[in-house]
Structure 1
Amino acid sequence: MKSIKIFLFIIFACILASCTRVYVPYTLQLQEEYNLTDEEVRQLQFYISDEVMLEREIVDVDKRVSKEHRLKKIEDKLVDQIVFRPYTPGVALELMPNMLSVAFEEQGYLKFKSEGEPEEYFYFKSDRYGDTIKEKVLNYCSWFQLIEDEIFSNGLVTYNVNEYWVFFPETRPHLLVDEESLEKIKEQRRIVKGIKQKK
């Protein structure tokens, strides 16, 4: 009886392992390794690595606020809050050198940028920064790296025509790709062998 339980546990563990998704960071090196075209990048299943929260204050209740967004009352202010949980799936819309625009819902997209190094991750970065952040950059530009995370987590971003403040509860989010979707791209490719002349 005990050996049957162990056997069933091993089978269950194998099934579970085969269903587990493998996520890898999306980099320029990975793009080159798989020789991905723009069209193939658009076919990949992307994910966001860490939580991102966007917030904006609403003066009048806007009926255009979608059902997916949360409306919160904070200190007599109405706040539109959009939360992207870790591993939220998305698709690439626009591709530019060292930048991807990825949509995680029908309206709006987030921009992910790489510094151009082959192994550098594509990080989510704010479009621009508020006045207090600009002041910090001007006063401490030699220590820019030390406050880099704070700068990127306190910036502003335009999302679905509205301007939002960006908050990262944890670390700076980057793009992940499902390894299975990379393998599917490889499987779809067909190598043409050519035709030789008959002698």
Structure 2
Amino acid sequence: MLINYFNLTKNYCGITALIGVLFLLQTQTAYGQSSPTETIEQVYSFYQPQQDNKSNDIGLDRTDSKSEQFFSPDFFKVIKEDDKLTSEQGDGSIMDYDFICNCQDPMDGLIVRNIGILQETEHTARVKVSFDFVINGSDTFQKDDVFTTDRPGQQHTYFNLINLDNHWFIDDVTDEKNVGIKKTWKEELHKYYHSSIQ
């Protein structure tokens, strides 16, 4: 009887340990952005040029629930509110462009040249991303050039990030003077759609 109790306890401990390990692995996958740079790298990975991409799926769908891991709760709430209110009235999004690439269409993808930390504290960061558009995915020179960083990049996007529970989230997208889109977006949702979002 003692042996059976010992075996039962051993099996229970083994199962508990396995569940714990699986939980940790899942947590690390969902919340793996432990630096501002890592968050930005993961966002821009959606814009990498794809060989023979015929599905037109380059870019990040900001309204997809998977995008929630990249945006702060406040910013994601604004994104979802815009999608909900404009869709209900059959309108296009107030933010009718892709703010990650500051463009209407990422074409065949982006070549990220540099991700620079402009300012960082324990809880906030400001990041500048420099990149080029891939204009023609069949251009051999451009495909070979995708991963080089010897050019400064012609396009720039600025991000303000916040650190919540050791996870870095994009909280706003700004211009060079640090004027963000989130406040304007909220104001337009209030004005045109009577949004109650704060």
When normalised by structure 1's length, the TM-score is 0.29
When normalised by structure 2's length, the TM-score is 0.29
More helix by share: 2
Q: Name the structure, 1 or 2, with higher relative contact order (CA <8 Å, separation 6+).
A: 1
